[in-house]
Amino acid sequence: MGKRIIFHIDANSAYLSWSAVAKLQHGDSLDLRTVPSIVGGNPETRHGIVLTKSIPAKKYGIQTGETLREALNKCPDLIIVPPDYSLYMQCSIAFGDILLREFSPLVEQYSIDEYFLDFTSMERLYVDPIKAAHTIKDKIRDELGFTVNIGISTNKLLAKMASELQKPDKVHTIFPEEIPTKMWPLPIEELFMVGRATSKKLRSRNIKTIGDLAHADPAWVQLFLKSHGLLVWNYANGQDISLVRENRRPIIKGIGNSTTIPFDVEDRNTAHLVLLSLTETVAARLRQAGYCARLVSVSIKTSEFYSCSHQRKIASAIDCTNAIHQIACELFDELWKGEPIRHLGVRVSEFCQNDFQQLSIFEKDYVKERVLDKTVDSIRARFGNGSVFRSSFINSGVRFSCGGTMNDEEYPMMSSLL
């Protein structure tokens, strides 16, 4: 058997591209991809975060994940488009259908806008994988109206790294023999699984490029990065044995919601109420996705833009709104030092299926509350998100459902990208 051939297909600026295509199809003359524009937040209140940005917006230094206010300070004429998760799911499905129907029976959906494709068994039909990749790229552009980048290699890691090279609408390869010229000169931050904290530790030890890490002693790297150090060292050397697994649903790693508050929060009760508002959304998404969570996290940004976070692992997985809110409030109380707050966030992760639960004898039995949660979920699904809410929000100045970008038609699996 010959070497594996793996494709990584990644939609370029997915949310923005899909919104732009939809608007063009409905008669809009402006292509959002050609002007400074973003998808995210609420265009009316100008609260929320940037989910994705156009290439012209990048020239203004606009970053994914920053607040709308920060983005507008950089570009006052920025066009803001609210997300449409129903549309995005349709585009994602259509995207994957082309791959599965015409190019390989083995397709793995890595996220809403990314697929891996095992091309190894398709070489009899498509002799040249590079030509096949161009065929895929052009077919998606011509039939669906948006562009993709395709990376090609012998494993998933290198294929993903290849697809991140020059964008948009490109095909790139990083085969093992190309690693020294195409991958090693890149900044260490470009390596998959090297985040801000990891890159800071590596740069403090004079590891500035992927090649620097690849040539470092793995035992030395493991001393200060633990097991993660060995993982990224292997990645720097292009080593990855993971298989492309047939899967048409994105893997949800976490569900979160956050909000920039219109006023400075200076008391604990108001902060707890904001956390409840955020938890309402998070817990509803969690239940709709069919999961329970074992990890709850809370994040705070003060009026002085100091950010911090705190998390707790719990013995029994939960999906109950009150249970998550209680833990979120306890985490907040442990974390908050009394400074005025401008931004709060709640996130849950480490999921398991919610059809099997085993409660600790030391924990409250949330069975009755879970039944109530499901009843409320069904009422909101039928009559709208504002059809029923807690009386504690009346005259409080805090919206019963704030933060993020959720609307009544949102798909829960998308919240992992927030």
Q: In this structure, is the dihedral angle defined by the CA atoms of residues 147, 153, 156 and 159, taken in order, positive or negative?
A: negative
What is the C-alpha separation between 209 and 310, in angstroms, rounded?
Answer: 31
CB 82 within 8 A of CB 15: no
Secondary element (H or E) of residue 300: strand 291-302
What is the C-alpha separation between 378 and 388, in angstroms, rounded?
Answer: 11
User: Could you tell me which of 336, 266, 262, 345 has the C-alpha nearest to residue 44?
Assistant: 262
Looking up tokens 């015409």 gives 102
- Please name the residue ranges forming H helices in 237-366: 268-289, 321-335
What is the C-alpha separation between 93 and 322, in angstroms, rounded?
Answer: 34
Looking up tokens 């966030």 gives 345
DSSP 8-state secondary structure symbol assigned to residue 42: B
What is the C-alpha separation between 229 and 214, in angstroms, rounded?
Answer: 11
Which amino acid type is present at position 47? H
Sheet architecture: strand order including 114-118: 107-111, 114-118, 6-11, 148-153, 171-173
Looking up tokens 């161009």 gives 134
CB 230 within 8 A of CB 222: yes
Active site residues: 114
CB under 8 Å to 325, separation ≥6 — which residues? 275, 276, 279, 283
3-state secondary structure of 302: strand
3-state secondary structure of 187: strand
3-state secondary structure of 293: strand
Determine the distance from the C-alpha atom of residue 151 to the mean position of all C-alpha atoms in its chain, rounded to a whole number.
Answer: 20
Strands 107-111 and 148-153: unpaired
Which amino acid type is present at position 30? L
CB under 8 Å to 27, separation ≥6 — which residues? none
CB under 8 Å to 248, separation ≥6 — which residues? 96, 100, 107, 109
